[in-house]
Amino acid sequence: MKDKYIYALLWASTIVTAAILIFILGFVVLKGSSALSIEFLIDIPREGGEEGGIFPAILGTFYLVAVALVVAVPLGVGGALYLVEFQKENIITKIIRLGADTLNAVPSIIFGLFGFAFLVYYLKLGVCILSGGITLAFMVLPTILRTSEEALRAVPNWDKEGSYALGATKLQTIKNIVLPQSLSGIITGIVLSIGRAAGETAPIIFTAAILNPVLPESVFDPTMSLPSHLYTLVSESTPEKLTNAYGTALVLIILVLITTYSAMLFRKHFTRHVRR
């Protein structure tokens, strides 16, 4: 009888979670679908966002996420490799993990303030894509580090020992055994990081965002982004801007879903390839 109650509770929790997700997605789709069109995706905003499209914001979001990944992925995966393969368990590894877990809990606006003070003013990078991307990289680095570490630790020791027995060096073992078997988990961390980086508003407003619909020519130019553009539209709250705001939110959700699904397909394909 007790098992039935537990099963019913788990089933109800699943249904409630799925219902909340469906409600949110359905609400955004219902409100935002009327704004979607080819012109909305490829045009620039006009009249403060009441007319035109969101192409500069889409492009800026891609640029910011790309810079964040270029910075965070090598550092996160490299740090995880150091913790798992090159450093024995000691006070240093505990401090690194504690620091990563602490950073993961820091509010995004604190990262934005840090990026504004350190990158924009102290390093004199200015408000630009590079400042925003590096700030986002600091935000997602703990996620990539911890998920990569767990993926690397999941590689069986006998596979690595077999590689060493055949005369392979540590670097050869990492390249041919450890990384291929752990890539699925590493990609999972990267996908989670993409979703977080693409949806952040506060750090971008502090470090990279502008209101003018100007296409950036380099990483040293400021840019629009979908979250900051959405915030601007909602804060002004005219009916026309609210329609475009829902459309912007819908595009952001679609882009994140496409990116996530593509990464999942790649992970599935690569996992099959490794098993063969």
Query: In angstroms, rounded to a whole number, what is the distance separating the alpha carbons of residues 97 and 148?
Result: 12
Name the residue with higher pLDDT: 136 or 181: 136
Longest pairwise C-alpha distance within the chain: 69
109 in Cβ contact with 202 (< 8 Å)? yes
Domains of the chain (ranges; CATH) run 56-224 (1.10.3720.10)
Mean pLDDT of the chain: 85
Q: What percent of the chain has pLDDT over 90?
A: 26
Could you tell me the pLDDT band of residue 270, with boundaries at 50, 70 and 90?
Answer: low
Q: What is the dihedral of CA 240, 242, 246, 252, to 10 degrees?
A: 100
Q: Give pLDDT tens digits for 165-177.
A: 888 888 888 888 8
Could you tell me the pLDDT band of residue 180, with boundaries at 50, 70 and 90?
Answer: confident
Look at the block and give the residue holding tokens 């200015």.
126
CB atoms within 10 A of CB 52: 17
Q: Give pLDDT tens digits for 45-56.
A: 877 667 778 888
- The predicted model scores a pTM of 0.86
Mean pLDDT, range 128-157, rounded to an integer? 91
Q: What pLDDT does residue 240 have?
A: 62
- Closest C-alpha to 226, from 242, 250, 258: 250
